[in-house]
Amino acid sequence: LTLGAQGGVYVGGGIIPRLGERFDQSPFRARFETKGRFAAYLAAIPTYVMLTPTPALLGAAQALAENVDGP
């Protein structure tokens, strides 16, 4: 909210990937949106569940691949 980001909220790590459909059926999204005057703003922001066990390493590998000069 402070920075006005609207690209999405990515939830991952820990137990979230193990919850599977239980997370989809949880009240997470409803609680995320129920924020008074910000409800309409938050309703437009997508949420994603990251299932990759090591997303930070994948991101680091991608950044390295994009920034290293060829052979």
Measuring CA to CA, which residue among 13, 18, 9, 6 is closest to residue 55? 13
Q: Does residue 36 lie within any of the structural domains?
A: yes
Q: Which residue has the higher pLDDT, 71 or 21?
A: 21
Q: What are 2-28's pLDDT values in tens digits?
A: 888 899 998 887 888 788 788 889 999
Total number of domains in the chain? 1
SS3 assignment, position 55: helix
Dihedral angle, C-alpha 34, 36, 40, 41, nearest 10 °: -100
Predicted local distance difference test score (pLDDT) of residue 65: 92
Q: Does residue 51 lie within any of the structural domains?
A: yes
Q: What are 37-54's pLDDT values in tens digits?
A: 999 999 999 999 888 888
Reported as a pLDDT band with limits 50, 70 and 90, residue 70 is low
Q: Does residue 3 lie within any of the structural domains?
A: no
Predicted local distance difference test score (pLDDT) of residue 31: 94
